[in-house]
Amino acid sequence: MIVAGVMSGTSADGINVALVKFEGETDASPVLRGGHKNRTGGGPRHCNFTLLAHDEYAFPARVRRAILQSMNAESASVADLARLNFLLGELYANAVMRCARTHRVEVDLVGCHGQTLYHQGTPTAYLGRKLAVTWQTGEGAVISVRLGVPVVSDFRPADMAAGGKGAPLVPFLDYTLYRDRKIGRIAQNVGGIANLTAIPANATPQQVIAFDTGPGNMLIDGVMDEVFSRPYDRHGYVASTGKVLEHVIRKLLRNSFFHQTPPRTAGREDFGPEYLRQFLSLCGAVNQRDIVATATALTARSIGDAVRRFVQTKSKDYREMIVSGGGAKNRTLMEMLRNELSPLGIALRFSDEFGIPTEAKEAVAFAVLAHETWHRRPSNVPSATGAKRAAVLGKISYA
């Protein structure tokens, strides 16, 4: 069975499509059964699946603008949100179609994360109830009818209904890929938001820790847009020419988010435009390159801090961090991260070394999750989301 995983993250930069081939009706549910084969050492591992191809399709500038506006707005027009839902359905379908054609692959099933417009993982008072809520848009029915195959979408609500935060969901794949008998590993994704999955040596699924560490590229992108009118800091070049404002970093790390004990989730609500304003005013009138360097350092420092505070306190056997997401391409950020980790005895590696290109990992994850759902198997990791029980994730649209 070939499953197309489709991801578009909080950066709203575009659509990632991964075409993943699953061999037979095999045991793809290590998290619940916990009994998959022990594996040691590095090297590529595809478990029971193989990544056939991966492509990225940038959103047209005005679509990106519309998405960011809907995410950031205090209020938005219901009509526009409905339109965006159907428009994204069309764009996701086009992306899968193009990817499948380019690589001459016939897709049997799609797993589409959709575009998060709002995520509030912690229950909050609303009209007399306390509710955790989330909203991913991009109509599954449209994708399904355009492609003529079933589509699994809307993965997060089932976990939240079971008392979880609905995120992170990628730990299911991280555990499958990176669990090792001898060493602990941390999978670190640096998208708009940065999140980690920590898998101690020889871990059972219940021992997996996962949470959002804080901003990934979101603040860096925000600063680049504001100060240099560019969407991101390519290869971290601008940051490499600036100096880090230490007093700003110290002050920012006092923010209550960084002190919250995991599980915890973050989004544009936490590190979006309002945070950017505060950040810029804290930096004050300094060299603009220093502002980019400082935003970059905040990501690296908050990851290092999170590892020291919430990961290494539980176990000292972590030896590797495996990075994925667009932030892996930011060389300055990776250099800063390496400097954070080396005193902790943790080496920096990249998901490419494990057969998954850094930019493809989340899309692969949603192919894997859709495959689980298709077989009616749960795929949340309750220790990661805080859910009270395992849940089959997503809703299925039949063509």
Ligand X SMILES: Nc1ncnc2c1ncn2[C@@H]1O[C@H](COP(=O)(O)OP(=O)(O)O)[C@@H](O)[C@H]1O
Residue 330, contacted partner among Mg ion, ligand X, none, CB below 5-8 A by kind: ligand X
Q: Rounded to 5 degrees, what are φ and ψ at 197? A: -125, 120
Nearer to ligand X, 85 or 217 (CB): 217
Nearer to ligand X, 5 or 205 (CB): 5
Given the DSSP bridges, would you call strands 209-215 and 318-324 parallel, antiparallel or unpaired? unpaired
Residue 327, contacted partner among ligand X, Mg ion, none, CB below 5-8 A by kind: ligand X
Nearer to ligand X, 192 or 272 (CB): 192
Residue 327 interacts with ligand X (CB under 6 A): yes or no: yes
Q: Near ligand X by CB under 6 A, which window of 5-13, 36-44, 108-116, 143-151?
A: 5-13
Residue 192 interacts with ligand X (CB under 6 A): yes or no: yes
Non-local (6+) Cβ contacts of 14 within 8 A are 8, 56, 57, 58, 59
Residue 13 interacts with Mg ion (CB under 5 A): yes or no: yes
Residue 13 interacts with ligand X (CB under 6 A): yes or no: yes
Residues 270/278, Cβ–Cβ less than 8 Å: no
Residue 221 interacts with ligand X (CB under 6 A): yes or no: yes
Residue 11 interacts with Mg ion (CB under 5 A): yes or no: yes
Non-local (6+) Cβ contacts of 133 within 8 A are 118, 119, 120, 126, 160
Residue 114 interacts with Mg ion (CB under 5 A): yes or no: no
224: DSSP letter: I
Q: Near Mg ion by CB under 5 A, which window of 2-10, 126-134, 212-220, 273-281?
A: 2-10
Residue 329 interacts with ligand X (CB under 6 A): yes or no: yes
- Among residues 135, 137, 190, 146, which one has the least CA distance to residue 340? 190
Residue 174, contacted partner among Mg ion, ligand X, none, CB below 5-8 A by kind: none
Residue 366 interacts with ligand X (CB under 6 A): yes or no: no
3-state secondary structure of 173: helix
Residue 338, contacted partner among ligand X, Mg ion, none, CB below 5-8 A by kind: none
Given the DSSP bridges, would you call strands 209-215 and 193-199 parallel, antiparallel or unpaired? antiparallel
Residue 144, contacted partner among Mg ion, ligand X, none, CB below 5-8 A by kind: none
Residue 294 interacts with Mg ion (CB under 5 A): yes or no: no
Q: How many residues bind ligand X (CB under 6 A)?
A: 20
Closest residue to bound Mg ion by CB: 9
Residue 10 interacts with ligand X (CB under 6 A): yes or no: yes
Residue 9 interacts with Mg ion (CB under 5 A): yes or no: yes
Residue 195 interacts with Mg ion (CB under 5 A): yes or no: no
Q: How many residues bind Mg ion (CB under 5 A)?
A: 3
- For the chain, percent helix, then strand, then coil, each to nearest 5? 45, 20, 35
Residue 138 interacts with ligand X (CB under 6 A): yes or no: no
- Among residues 227, 232, 239, 389, which one has the least CA distance to residue 300? 239
What residue type is assigned to position 101 of the chain?
R
Residue 340 interacts with ligand X (CB under 6 A): yes or no: no
Residues 184/318, Cβ–Cβ less than 8 Å: yes
- Among residues 258, 262, 272, which one has the least CA distance to residue 117? 272
* Stretch 229-258 residues interacting with ligand X (CB under 6 A): 232-236
Task: Give me the DSSP letters along 291-327.
Answer: HHHHHHHHHHHHHHHHIIIIITTT-S-EEEEEEESGG
Residues 274/240, Cβ–Cβ less than 8 Å: no
Burial (CB count within 10 angstroms: exposed 0-12, middle 13-18, buried 19+), residue 261: exposed
Minimum distance between the CB of residue 174 and Mg ion, rounded to whole angstroms? 18
Note the residues at the interface with Mg ion (CB under 5 A).
9, 11, 13
Note the residues at the interface with ligand X (CB under 6 A).
9-11, 13, 191-192, 217, 220-221, 232-236, 325-327, 329-330, 362
